[in-house]
Structure 1
Amino acid sequence: MNGGGKVVCVTGASGYIASWIVKLLLLRGYTVKATVRDPRDAKKTKHLLTLEGADERLKLFKADLLEDGSFEQAIEGCDGVFHIASPVSLTATNPQARYYDSNIFWSTTYNAAKLIDPAVNGTLNVLKTCARASSVKRVIVTSSTATILGCNPPFKPNDVVDVTFFTDPSFCSEMKVFESCCDVVQWYALSKTLAEDAAVQFSKENGIDLIVMNPGNVIGPLLQPTLNYSVGVIVDLINGKIPSNSFYYRFMDVRDVSLAHIKAFEIPSANGRYITVDPNITMKDIKKLLNELFPDKNEESELNGMAYKVCVDKMKSELGIEFTPIEATLRDTIASLKEKCLLT
């Protein structure tokens, strides 16, 4: 077992990707100190406490992204930290503002409080604690392809995106709208971009061995009992709805994404950023497969998407990640949704 005797911290452990990272870490023999908002909330922690190995090697800690020092106890004595916790919200406060309306959009104050502050200041809060903990050898931060794909003008079909691409924060704050994109997508992209920038800068200044993971839209079976945003995209498509922010989407199985995080921690030569998407799977591919699986339920509707290529050679060569076939991923996703009564 790769993690035998090692202790790691996973922030935001009850979330979708984080839960899978905890599961795989436990299976690999790690001791996991997992942070959640409320360890007493059984609805949000039961799926963690019932994982194989949890009784012996999982302990929950209460922590808040915006509370200075709240991660101290969880990170103390850890060999590594997986910082996954960050707000993911791509819908406006007014439910009628799901699609772009020039008269309805989030205020800067609201987005700073709900997205930007927790993403940026929460990341720095965790990293400051890591800098004080002499035991921490490497930190893995979960970012997003949103920190890579923000550009104007949009990509062309033959453009190849790789880890050297960076979203321009000014592009996000201008709230540019392309086809089915809505303004709130740019607020999320801005929060992730600013958080990644802050993490990289702080780590350089404080000698932290930082690796950044940049997943796209992550799908696959759920461990948590509730529907998260990225798998909700599949539910929308099955029900004939087009996600309002599907413009840039590329997909990857949550199990592959989670393993990539762990490999990035375990492999000494791992470094920098890793785009974790299957470059060959677009929204149109997902829609086509779902049409075949649900011919009576999935309505015909036009999908607008951005044509571009993605280079994931760095992830494949350095981390050795292979992709789960998308057909298997979708079938496992659907089975999980039905099991948890999240698909009608």
Structure 2
Amino acid sequence: MTAAPAPLPPPHSSAAADPAPSPALPAVIGPDPAAQAQRMRLYGIVLMCGAVACFACLDATAKYLGRHIDVIEVAWARYVSALVLAFLVFNPLTRPGMLRTRRPGLQIGRSALLLATTLLNFAALKYLQLDQALAILFSTPLMVAALAGPMLGEWIGPRRWAAIAVGLVGVVIVLQPGFGSVHPAALLSMLSAVAASFYAIATRVLSRFDSDATTLFYSNLLGVLLLTPVMPFVWTTPEDPVLIVVMMLFGGLGSLGHFLLIVAHRHTPASILSPFSYSQILWTTTLGFLVFGDLPNRWTIAGVTIVIASGLYLLHRERVRRGR
């Protein structure tokens, strides 16, 4: 709150000549910084929840399409529609600077990792329940924390190593090795989480050199360039018009989710937003039941609870470290 400056004496007079006090002007009350910061936090949290809702819808749509067309065709539809949307929103023809990257090799490597993550995840979703695949992908932050030391020099202490180990135990519970109740495609989800971890590391490095718009554009462009030559060998023309509409709108879910994610982090610290990323499990479980009639079993519930608890503890340790 900022107080107004003291009123000036009237023209052609002096303050000493008129001993009577001037009536006080009302203070000009400016915006409360604390209240404004709180509003920005709430705004970022709402955007974060919207982003993970888009990602949950993206996975549900991929699983639905995967029942009718090839997985590679599903991924191609996602990248093509996302690239068209990027052209409409960013229009690189009038902003040629957006196409310039300071690290082209890293852009290509990061985009290839994202493509691998997408293909592996879509292939796994064809056989797994949405909540099972997501529970395994929730191990990505744990892997990023483990890789940040040797790759970024961000070393972690024994407590966070213990949290990572406990979180991976949660993933093992979801996988249920030896019990045979989870489809072998769960290994594809695990590989997708590994690729996503390296993708996250590459994104953090690349953010120091290129803008978000540039990185998002090249991610979609490489996916289209690599998948289009394969399409004649796997293409299946959808007979249902609904499938064609879903394929056209498919990539918009991913692009909208990433856009909301970027804006949310612009207004709110990542340490506040991170816990809300786990709300995706609520969206995923709801969509899995409404669309596919799936409900999580006790192993998935137990495993995802352990993974989320480990991720939240890692976030807590990160806050403690930064506070020091």
Higher RCO (Cα < 8 Å, 6 or more apart): 2
Between structures 1 and 2, the one with greater helix share: 2
Which structure has the larger Rg over C-alpha atoms? 2
TM over 0.5: no
Q: TM-score, structure 1 length as denominator?
A: 0.29
